[in-house]
Structure 1
Amino acid sequence: MCLSQSVKNKMEFNSCMLDDAYIDGLGNRFCIDPKLVSLSEGSLDDCFSFRDYKKQNDTGTEECGSPHAKAQEQSMTDVEIMAPTRKLKPKSKEYKKYSKNVKERFWHDIIEEGYSAYSAAKKHGINLQTAYSWKRNWNKQIYLANQGLEEPSKKRGRKPLLNKKHMELMNSLVEDDASVTLDSMLESLRLNFSNLEVSATTMHSFATKVCNLSVKRISKWPARSSSEFIKGLRYQWAKEYGDKLNFSDNCIFIDEAGFNLSTRREYGWSSVGEKAMVNSPIIGGLNISFIGAISSHGCISLKVRHPQGLVDGKKGKLDTDATSSKSNPIGTTAGHFYDFVQSVMEQKNQSEELRNLKYLILDDASIHKRHYIQLLVASSDLELVFLPPYSPCLNAMEEFWAVCKSKVKKAKVEKKEGLNLAVCESVNSISIESYEGFCRHAGKYIEYCLDRQSF
């Protein structure tokens, strides 16, 4: 809670925010230190707003100015492809399918008219071998029915080398350690089951097709995030806010993220047998901080914080007039966050769609808990809700940033001005259904908190 419950209950509508102080409904004056909210270290630059997002959606263009949108506008043209010729295998004889009507007439002539399989096949244009096979199977079914027997199932091939017991062991190995390798699984199977000789190919096929396992990029989480203490904090948070919060209806999500100019795609194209190579700078690219706010209605506000005092985009080199890095931080500060919350409140007040939003959802970072920020929010009809520690999945901004970064990686940005444009284009390309999905998916983790499950 941003203020104690007793103070909050006493607040009236005549509270106001001044330039250097805040006055509550009881007439109490709280001084705000101008130095704390000073943005002399570099203000936030406007990058995107809810007004921009609505304007973009109203025009009906999802990816304005992006290479993908321009490619869609171009007409499809025929391209002559010069590919090396390969010897193709001769096509096998095409399988002929017979309609239900043809089959019914065939069996009517066989059973009712007394035709032979040969005569009925010739009459209806059915392949002789197909007709003989139908008649042979029919005779076999009649014989088994008269004898009261059932046709035994045909089991072809050798007995499988791996069975349910092997599957249970492999699943337990993966559950204990997600980074276990296929070789380690094979070694464990050989230790637990004597005389087991299977190849790595068989193991891979068994793991994917029978055990329903697949190889994924490992997600690394702090060990403390699964501790009973953290689960208890999540449970208390869910009990307090679970009935109030509706992530798809009354919540605004806020979070910061860093983008790097040297970020590129992890996968690329190349000729078969050759590596996919791209040029990468020896020194890491410039880090630029963004701070954003979204809801199920779309992107409400997005601002960028450019590091001050950097020369030619190189780390570690400062202008002669610049102060030290300690007094001139690179990332966002409490002052920046104060400025950003003000912009979110302005966007909310200017749009009818955002009027029913009541809660600001954000993590428990220290810059979010400053007293003057809590007073700023308390002067409006909003309420700060801090997430429990180690719980990023409860913030819909996590998926929003993941989608933005995946799109920015494709843009091959080299200058910070281009990074701003790439981020704006990525936000433009995110549909309203995606924002609804971000919020809906984050809301599902409240049940995990109540059940004390790990995530």
Structure 2
Amino acid sequence: MQAEDYNIANEFVMREPYFEEVIDEMDVDEDPATTFGKLILLADDSTVPQQISVNDELEQESGSELENDAENSDINLSLHQTTGYKAYGPDNIRMFLQLMQEEGHSVAKHAKTCFIPRSTAYEILKQWNESDGTVIPIGCLKKPSKIGGAKRANNCKITAQQTEFLAELVDKNPCITIDMAREELCSSFEGFSISQSGLRKHMVEKIRLSLKDSHVYTMERDAKRTLDLRFNVITAWKAAGVDFQTNCVFMDEAGFNAHQIRSKAWSVKGTPAIVSVPTQKGVNLSIIGCISPFGTINFSKVEPLKPADVAKIEKEFPLPASKKRKAKSDDTKKEKPKKGTTAYHVVTFVRNVMDVLDRHNKHGFYIVMDNCRIHHSHYVVDAIESRGYKPLFMPPYSPFLNPIEECWSKIKKHIKRNPLSTLDTLTPRIKAACETITTEDCNGWIRHSETYWDKCLNKESKLV
């Protein structure tokens, strides 16, 4: 069967808007780790020393007077034949100061002669001058830097125990800040100190944590009752021969409005990312959709009911005897039509879905729906069973078991790419987004939902 046969998104059923908020699933960050290979040490400078006498150096640079002084001091500099940085010691410092006194050339020239970094040479000379020339500097001592008027903390090496403490801290409070984590760590381990940047680097590189967009996750989703219900439902599905890829279609509703934009936007550094949207958010639009392993079946817009529709609905869907209203009187006010998606809207849509399935010889399929109250209405159940189809309800707090949830995510991403302008309307954008759904998309979402079956049987938590 061709997917195009089911792409009838232009057949819209006009019903009332649905104002349920749908939480978009965020993109999962991918690990950009790259292996750069292992650096090979080409030469070990500790095993190739070379003694260079200062006398030979001074004959070329300084003259006889400096040569005699060097002989009396009997200084031999141990230098390594390596390129780049060369270690220097007290002998190098003493020779540098001697050259500065005797020759008076530039600091850079004498620093190069004595194999001392130029910036370090300036610092050594400064220390020498501040000490009135009576104390030989021991080297370039790093001064403690200050941040906000306070001294920077000396980073201590984080132990395995402290790393485990940090991991547990993040598990308990994923929204914890670096500053809060640092305070907890330093207060729990006496004498330990670390900077915020050092702690952040350890959390990212060693514990492999990353800061992402947070997702709202209700505690009821991991309650024992919910885990038991998932186990029982999946067990019953397997016993009944339910197969998402061969005998099921998936139905759900989603809400849209004119202010739906991407959660991230570009802007110049130091300026806020501002996105212009219509002044009024407008009334939420509700779309009912249905997908299958063979492609999309239908997407329909729900529009508000009119007062004239109330009598028609009461005739087609009469209330039970226990809920019948009293006889009308002059004082009785006319009942207003209910807002939102009602059982009447669901029945009308599901009849259209079953008509499409009948035309393509897919009789007797399971119609998978979430645990919404209106889906359990006896009007909806009777309408499905009277045509030879079977309703299939998911356990509560388990949207990951319905593949159409990912379908809504793709549709909303398509709409959010470009904010609505004054010349644009929402309904055509929704229709165009629905037409981008392919059979390959549907099959991928269905296979992904099936991967949660074993997790539900194992009663795993934190399923998203």
User: What TM-score bracket applies, with the shorter chain setting the length?
Assistant: 0.5 to 0.7
Matches within 5 A, 1:244-323: 244-281=241-278, 283-307=280-304
1:356 Cα deviation after fit: 7.4
Is 1:201 the counterpart of 2:197 in the alignment?
Answer: yes
Please report the TM-score for the alignment, with normalisation by the length of structure 1.
0.58
Is 1:399 the counterpart of 2:406 in the alignment?
Answer: yes
Query: CA offsets, 1:203-244, max 9 Å, x none?
Result: 222112211111122221222221111211111111111342
- Indicate the SS of the match to 1:242: helix
1:166 Cα deviation after fit: 2.3
CA separation in 1, counterparts of 2:4 and 2:418? 23
Question: Which residue pairs with 2:5 in the alignment?
Answer: 51
Query: CA offsets, 1:173-194, max 9 Å, x none?
Result: 1222222222221112112222
1:415 Cα deviation after fit: 7.4
Question: Which residue pairs with 1:126 in the alignment?
Answer: none
Question: Which residue pairs with 1:444 in the alignment?
Answer: 451
**AA at the equivalent of 1:181:** T
Question: Which residue pairs with 1:340 in the alignment?
Answer: 349
Question: Which residue pairs with 1:315 in the alignment?
Answer: none
Is 1:185 the counterpart of 2:181 in the alignment?
Answer: yes
CA separation in 1, counterparts of 2:397 and 2:442? 23
**AA at the equivalent of 2:348:** D
Residues 253 and 294 in structure 1, CA contact (< 8 A), matched pair in contact too: yes
Which structure has the larger Rg?
2
1:50 Cα deviation after fit: 6.0
**AA at the equivalent of 1:224:** E
CA separation in 1, counterparts of 2:351 and 2:371? 19
- Indicate the SS of the match to 1:411: coil
- Indicate the SS of the match to 1:272: coil
CA separation in 1, counterparts of 2:249 and 2:401? 12
Query: CA offsets, 1:336-377, max 9 Å, x none?
Result: 10011011111112235xx27721111122211222322221
CA separation in 1, counterparts of 2:162 and 2:245? 44
Query: CA offsets, 1:221-279, max 9 Å, x none?
Result: 22222111121111111111134222223221111111011222222223333222223
**AA at the equivalent of 2:304:** P
Is 1:225 the counterpart of 2:221 in the alignment?
Answer: yes
Q: How many residues align?
A: 293
Query: CA offsets, 1:145-168, max 9 Å, x none?
Result: xxxxxxxxxxxxx99722322221
CA change 1:374–1:241 in 2 (3 A) is: same
Residues 249 and 357 in structure 1, CA contact (< 8 A), matched pair in contact too: no
CA change 1:307–1:54 in 2 (3 A) is: closer
CA separation in 2, counterparts of 1:264 and 1:199? 37
**AA at the equivalent of 1:172:** E
**AA at the equivalent of 1:424:** K
CA separation in 2, counterparts of 1:357 and 1:298? 18
CA change 1:445–1:388 in 2 (3 A) is: same
CA separation in 1, counterparts of 2:305 and 2:363? 38
CA separation in 2, counterparts of 1:307 and 1:416? 24
RMSD, aligned α-carbons: 3.1
**AA at the equivalent of 2:381:** Q
Please report the TM-score for the alignment, with normalisation by the length of structure 2.
0.57
Residues 155 and 198 in structure 2, CA contact (< 8 A), matched pair in contact too: no
- Indicate the SS of the match to 1:344: helix
Query: CA offsets, 1:64-87, max 9 Å, x none?
Result: xxxxxxxxxxxxxxxxxxxxxxxx
- Indicate the SS of the match to 2:7: helix
Residues 360 and 384 in structure 1, CA contact (< 8 A), matched pair in contact too: yes
Question: Which residue pairs with 1:359 in the alignment?
Answer: 366
Is 1:387 the counterpart of 2:402 in the alignment?
Answer: no
Question: Which residue pairs with 1:170 in the alignment?
Answer: 166
Residues 234 and 450 in structure 1, CA contact (< 8 A), matched pair in contact too: yes
CA change 1:207–1:248 in 2 (3 A) is: farther
**AA at the equivalent of 2:204:** T
Residues 296 and 439 in structure 2, CA contact (< 8 A), matched pair in contact too: no
Is 1:408 the counterpart of 2:362 in the alignment?
Answer: no
CA separation in 2, counterparts of 1:231 and 1:280? 41
Which sections of structure 2, spanning at least 5 residues, go unmatched?
11-80, 83-153, 307-332
CA change 1:327–1:52 in 2 (3 A) is: same
CA change 1:168–1:278 in 2 (3 A) is: same
CA separation in 1, counterparts of 2:172 and 2:372? 32
CA separation in 2, counterparts of 1:50 and 1:379? 28
Matches within 5 A, 1:10-159: 51=5, 53=7
CA separation in 1, counterparts of 2:441 and 2:166? 36
Residues 276 and 419 in structure 2, CA contact (< 8 A), matched pair in contact too: no
Query: CA offsets, 1:366-399, max 9 Å, x none?
Result: 2112223222211334211111112111111211
CA change 1:435–1:357 in 2 (3 A) is: farther
Instruction: Report % sequence identity.
Output: 27
**AA at the equivalent of 1:334:** A
CA change 1:247–1:378 in 2 (3 A) is: same
Residues 155 and 194 in structure 2, CA contact (< 8 A), matched pair in contact too: no
CA change 1:326–1:196 in 2 (3 A) is: farther
CA change 1:325–1:392 in 2 (3 A) is: farther
- Indicate the SS of the match to 1:185: helix
Residues 288 and 307 in structure 1, CA contact (< 8 A), matched pair in contact too: no
**AA at the equivalent of 1:388:** P
CA change 1:205–1:218 in 2 (3 A) is: same
